[in-house]
Structure 1
Amino acid sequence: MAILTLGLATAGSSGAHPDHGGGREDFPGEGVADGSYKQHDGDEGHLPAVSRNVTLVGKAAVTNPSGAGNTGRVADVTAFGDYAYLTAFREPTCENTGVHVMDISDPAHPTEVTSAFIPTSDGSYAGEGIQVEHIDDSPFFHGDLLIHQNETCPGETPPGANSGGISLWDVTDPRSPKPLAMHVGDFTNTAGGLDPAPNQTHSMRMWTNVFDKKTYVALVDDEEATDVDILDITDPRNPVLVNDGLDLGAVFGVDQAAPTNLTSVFSHDMMITKVGRRYVMNMNYWDGGYVMLDVTDPRPGKVSLIAESDYAALDEERSARGHEISPEGNAHQSELSPNRKFLIGTDEDFSPFRIVAKIDSGPHAGTEYTATPATDSKQIGEGTTISGAVTFVGDACAPLPAGTGTALVERGTCTFQAKLDAIIAAGYTAGIVFQNHRDDCLSQVSMAAAGPIPFVFANRFAGLRLLGVPGVTEATACTMTTPATGGESTTVKSVFDGWGYVRLFATDVPTKPGKAGSIRQIDTYAVSESQDPAYAGGFGDLSVHEVAMDPENNNTAYLSYYAAGLRVVKYGKNGIQEVGAFIDEGGNNFWGVEVWKDETGEQYVLASDRDHGLYVFHIDC
């Protein structure tokens, strides 16, 4: 029997990228979770080993000088010449992060050049997005340019100017990297002034325009999440911001009204490809879908929309299994095929369960909202729900009178843990914290709090509706005063909706600037276990992460699928199909995937294992 569930609220966040944290703290130590995705341990907790049409050529672990081990240490991968570069993430501790340099001149025996490690500034880490390009058209720089992004370690106060943005390095001699510019990006704030440090950057992509002979880089801005910042880095020692107003929702209307759960619309990642006389940016805009832009002239008012995708009313992979539910969204990363006729996009989803939250009484009865569970509280799962009337208890920063049922708490003044402890001590069996009075009151937060009861976060609009405030809207919620009393009934439960998977699109990209094109979904693909509730826990994260198109074949692509390993697919006008797979003995946890050729022209696929380092593969199909 099909289960019809449309317009459900998701557990994602609208104010932060779900894969690297849950928003900013109001004060140091408030308890905003950083997000942590650790792999299996030992012989349990992963899928069985497999090697089908894929040969493991070589692998090498990275060195973590902090002594904390490699679990979660490695993030993205890129390669140039005889060297691969792996970003060092914030796990297991946010120490000695930066970029590992690997000599891959002998693919069977890759080795780390430990003396060449590229450090981030103290309190910062590198994650998604690293790239090396040879620059020879600039009058300011000739050589190999490496760029990585910078984000701030959880709980850290950014140290002056040494945080955020991107950092540029000269790696013409990969064994002796030299800094060119550190922490450059968008310094503007919402008040119109300048901050001492640029906004945190989640990802970036650079390209050299053969028409104007300039080199640019597009940034994913963590703090102005809907914006795409573009810098002119022709002089890599003195980057210049040339576009700080590329909000694809506001400028091109790429968001969609239905299904109603697709509300987390922000920039996440991008690629730039020369197509004829134009440069095409395929932007992954989370719940806004996959977008293609003409960035031949990247200045404000000059960028144009080529085409953009919309999500269907029903999730295709769930529908194929008799479960009717709205799609999760989560357009994470994509690449165009070599002939520009296809695009593969990866919808990342770290939670196979969707939190369904609904108001059951009062003026807003029947409306849904997003509820994000605290990291270490009792999770909303099978047999665990929040139901019944809520009782508003203020900020819960002092001992509370005895109570029962669900406490409704306003954010602020004290830590999330203190709030949870207070409502437990008073006798409540569940808690909902809602966003306080602030400009970004519609954003979500992932709370770091531990306790034996369900404890979730909702934005201010949801909180005021739970209080029964009549007439409140998203437009008025941030400025509306919190009433002293109130409380309606609510139900918060979960439903299995699978892990993140892959979409195949047919694309038409005209070669002349200014001409619109099209994008049309052909098919979807998912690792079978990722859509099976039996694998919802205990097998690692079974979401897809990234795709790399084979540059020599218009029908082959490679997928990094976290704990589901490396996957090889064939694609075309008739759909997408898996033809190869690799999971190592003991499991894998792949983040990045990249196609690389050695000096003889032999092609390999590189993958970064979060808990180990670099894997080098040869594809046999």
Structure 2
Amino acid sequence: MKRNRLTTCLIGAVTAALLLVPASATAHKGQHGTDDGHLLGTGDGDWGKIEKVGQLEVSGAADDLIADVAAFGDYAYLANWGEADCAGPETGGVNTPDSGAWVIDISDPANPVEVNFIPMPQDTRPGEGMQVTHIETAKFSGEVLVMNAEACGKNYKGGFMLYDVTNPLKPVKLKEGFGDRTGSDAHQTHSAFVWQSGDTAYLVTQDEEDLADVDIFDITNPRRPRLVSELNLNDYDVAQPSLNLGDSDLHDMTVKCMTTGAYAGKCIMIASYWDGGYVLLDVTDPANPIFLGDTDYAAIDPELLEQTGIALTPEGNAHQAEFTADNQFFIGTDEDFSPYRALLRTDDGGEYAAGEFGWTVPINELYGELNGPTVYGGYGCPADRGSIPNASTLTLASGEEAILVLQRGPLGDPSQSGGACFFSEKVETAQLLGYDAVIIANHHTGALGG
């Protein structure tokens, strides 16, 4: 095992090349468990004009299981992100699907009822790319459910999934595991969106395995999709490397064919391009998209400065956006994780930018500065724990901490037969082995940093 010494201190500007967290940190449940993190009604709807009118606990409910929600007519669809044994063998066959979508009858909003479940293929899970919409073409008429497809095990299908949910009680598979591909496997996707222009229907996906991560398909015949264009929006210089916002890649997108406003008569895509900001594309002709412009992050994060008085560079992280009803504005949401920045210095003079998870205790609250020897532990998944030295094997000087270094994945590693494990499992590995902190080397496919 390779050992080095490093020092970590808080600074004002970094990229997300490394993720560093105290091993003693605990997760914040946020939208699960207690009321903290929820949008709650006040009973009379005064706060935010929000009033809870009904509630349902789906079968097999668990923390961190529902990834997205869509609704059309009298039905809602909840994305099941994958059961705990998603990567394991299919012991129950078709009767115990790894993941999919719950179908909920919401015709009486005060009394929602679970009425069906649409399973996805083995070792495959949806993410934040669920949508239901009506399309009317020469080849299909009805309601279509689209879900993105990510892996939770080695037998996954990537791409996107299309189901006919005109009758949600009897859904029909239209296409599974279709998308841009390398070799025989469709690329994994994190989000998908469907729209219709004239007599033609289209679908756009986020491609997790290609720098050209905006993939547009013609789905006029949803049983036979056809790739019509793909783009890398970094070709339009949307990134801001001067602010160390180097993780510029697609996260989510929506398309609206407008009848009013500056773009009346055109179909406009807004792509949430993480550190690249929000990007507008004219996709009236989806085979030949036109770049219209993008947003820039301010040199100093204005929200952080206003709320805390701390002047730091922004995190970026353009996550999701929607146009307003009058097409005059869009509402965008950044998925920020931490107000702090970190810098790693190694004993050979190297310096590496880093970030912290939003669900762990900030380093500055526990240590302020980490300093000590590191041990490389590979992927740090549960199955790897027996091969990683315990922190007790290290000799620490006064003021030093034991630090475990792991890497993201495994993904695309021919020497590994298992699927990738969660960051939380890697952090738990460090905790169980007695380390004070863990560094996880990131390799976000499609990011500028590789």
TM range, smaller chain:
0.7 to 0.9
Q: What is the aligned residue count?
A: 391
SS in 2 for 1:319: helix
**1:300-379 matches, cutoff 5 A:** 302-320=288-306, 321-349=308-336, 351-352=337-338, 354-359=340-345, 364=350, 367-370=351-354
Counterpart check, 1:168 vs 2:152: no
Judge conservation of contact 1:269–1:284 (CA < 8 Å) in 2: yes
Measured after TM superposition, the shift of residue 412 of structure 1 is 7.3
Counterpart check, 1:406 vs 2:361: no
SS in 1 for 2:55: strand
Q: Deviations over 1:45-91 (max 9, x none)?
A: 66896512322222222112xxxx43222221111121111111225
2:232 maps to 247
Judge conservation of contact 1:167–1:183 (CA < 8 Å) in 2: yes
TM-score (norm 2): 0.76
Report the identity percentage.
34
Judge conservation of contact 2:340–2:356 (CA < 8 Å) in 1: no
Measured after TM superposition, the shift of residue 296 of structure 1 is 1.4
Q: Structure 1 stretches of 5 or more lacking a match?
A: 14-34, 389-404, 461-473, 479-621
d(CA) in 2 for partners of 1:375, 1:57: 30
Judge conservation of contact 1:11–1:355 (CA < 8 Å) in 2: no
d(CA) in 2 for partners of 1:226, 1:380: 35
Deviation larger for 40-49 or 75-84: 40-49
SS in 1 for 2:340: strand
Judge conservation of contact 2:16–2:247 (CA < 8 Å) in 1: no
d(CA) in 2 for partners of 1:12, 1:426: 23
Instruction: Give, as a single letter, the amino acid of the residue that structure 2 aligns with 1:76.
Output: D
2:261 maps to none
Measured after TM superposition, the shift of residue 293 of structure 1 is 0.6
2:79 maps to 87
Q: Deviations over 1:217-240 (max 9, x none)?
A: 110112226511111111111111
d(CA) in 2 for partners of 1:223, 1:237: 24
Q: 1:268 to 1:235 in 2, by over 3 A?
A: same
Counterpart check, 1:427 vs 2:421: no
Q: Deviations over 1:385-407 (max 9, x none)?
A: 5545xxxxxxxxxxxxxxxx312
1:489 maps to none
Judge conservation of contact 1:202–1:268 (CA < 8 Å) in 2: yes
Judge conservation of contact 2:33–2:63 (CA < 8 Å) in 1: no
SS in 1 for 2:389: helix
Task: Decide which of 224, 243, 251 is 1:259's aligned counterpart.
Answer: 243
Q: Deviations over 1:177-225 (max 9, x none)?
A: 01111111111x3xxxx22x21111110011111xx2211110112226
Q: Deviations over 1:346-402 (max 9, x none)?
A: 0112x34535124276555xx4422667999x97341325545xxxxxxxxxxxxxx
Instruction: Give, as a single letter, the amino acid of the residue that structure 1 aligns with 2:365.
Output: E
Judge conservation of contact 1:218–1:228 (CA < 8 Å) in 2: yes
Q: Structure 2 stretches of 5 or more lacking a match?
A: 1-9, 20-25, 87-96, 259-263, 414-421
d(CA) in 2 for partners of 1:284, 1:199: 19
d(CA) in 2 for partners of 1:49, 1:339: 27
Instruction: Give, as a single letter, the amino acid of the residue that structure 2 aligns with 1:433.
Output: V
Instruction: Give, as a single letter, the amino acid of the residue that structure 2 aligns with 1:130.
Output: M
Q: Deviations over 1:131-183 (max 9, x none)?
A: 122222x2221221111111111xx21x2xx5111111111111110111111
Instruction: Give, as a single letter, the amino acid of the residue that structure 2 aligns with 1:343.
Output: F
Coordinate RMSD, CA, aligned: 3.6
Instruction: Give, as a single letter, the amino acid of the residue that structure 2 aligns with 1:426.
Output: L
Measured after TM superposition, the shift of residue 106 of structure 1 is 1.6
d(CA) in 1 for partners of 2:406, 2:63: 33
Measured after TM superposition, the shift of residue 434 of structure 1 is 6.9
Deviation larger for 104-113 or 223-232: 223-232
Measured after TM superposition, the shift of residue 340 of structure 1 is 1.6
Measured after TM superposition, the shift of residue 427 of structure 1 is 3.2
Judge conservation of contact 1:79–1:132 (CA < 8 Å) in 2: yes
Judge conservation of contact 1:374–1:456 (CA < 8 Å) in 2: no
2:6 maps to none
2:142 maps to 143
Q: 1:44 to 1:127 in 2, by over 3 A?
A: closer
1:61 maps to 57
d(CA) in 1 for partners of 2:328, 2:32: 42
**1:68-217 matches, cutoff 5 A:** 69-90=61-82, 94=86, 96-113=98-115, 116-136=116-136, 138-153=137-152, 156-157=153-154, 159=155, 163-187=157-181, 189=182, 194-195=183-184, 197-210=185-198, 213-217=199-203
Q: 1:47 to 1:269 in 2, by over 3 A?
A: closer
Judge conservation of contact 1:373–1:380 (CA < 8 Å) in 2: no
Q: 1:12 to 1:327 in 2, by over 3 A?
A: farther
**1:488-499 matches, cutoff 5 A:** none
d(CA) in 2 for partners of 1:42, 1:77: 19
d(CA) in 1 for partners of 2:27, 2:208: 18
d(CA) in 1 for partners of 2:134, 2:291: 29
1:464 maps to none
Q: 1:385 to 1:9 in 2, by over 3 A?
A: farther
1:296 maps to 284
d(CA) in 1 for partners of 2:394, 2:237: 47
**1:474-493 matches, cutoff 5 A:** none
SS in 2 for 1:61: coil
